[in-house]
Amino acid sequence: MAFCKNCGAQIPDGSQTCPSCGTSAGASDLTASFDQQDINNNKGMAILAYLSWLVIVPLIAAPQSRFARFHANQGLILAISSTVWGILTGILAVIPVIGWIISMIMGLASLAFLVFMIMGIINAANGEAKELPLIGKFTIIK
């Protein structure tokens, strides 16, 4: 049995939607499961969640907002991922020649984090709750 990404309820095998909240079992766009008033009131907090470690601000300023927490989760995963990636790139840069080449390639690949940040900000500003590619399926904050 699978579990709903939105409410955590069990989803029977073969079911396309959660029996508890109606969220699509495979959807990466969860906007319909959020209250429109919550979205309108907390767009600014959701945007802040994608500005690296400013992700802490929405957690403190809007702890009751499901919309802000969703984006804070996405932003926290992005911040952790980009920090770890940066540390690995820095460690590899110490190795002469081959490390420098690998480090440059990893540096170029780190542009993906900038793209993900921009995507998250656009989604938050538009009042949408869409998971980021590759890292959006992970949940730290519920």
Q: Compare 97 and 4 and report the one with higher pLDDT.
A: 97
User: Any idea what DSSP says for residue 60?
Assistant: H
| pLDDT tier, 24 (very low <50, low <70, confident <90, very high otherwise) | low
Question: Is the per-residue pLDDT at 39 higher than 80?
Answer: yes
Domain coverage including residue 46: 34-142
- Tell whether 64 and 102 lie within a shared domain: yes
Count Cβ atoms within 10 A of the Cβ of residue 18 and give its class: 0-12 exposed, 13-18 middle, 19 or more buried. Answer: buried
Do 102 and 135 fall into the same domain?
A: yes
Confidence band, pLDDT 50/70/90 cuts, at residue 16 = low
Mean pLDDT across 103-129: 91
Among 7-11, 15-19, 124-128, which stretch is predicted with the lowest mean pLDDT?
A: 15-19
22: left (phi over 0), alpha (psi -120 to 50) or beta: left
Q: What is the mean pLDDT of residues 114-136?
A: 93
The number of distinct structural domains making up the chain is: 2
In total, the chain counts a number of residues equal to 142
Q: What is the per-residue pLDDT for 47?
A: 96
For residues 141 and 70, give the distance between their C-alpha atoms in angstroms, rounded to a whole number: 8
Instruction: Say whether both 10 and 46 belong to one domain.
Output: no
List, as one string, the DSSP characters of 67-132: HHHHHHHHHHHHHHHHHHHHHHHHHHHTSTTHHHHHHHHHHHHTHHHHHHHHHHHHHHHTT--BPP
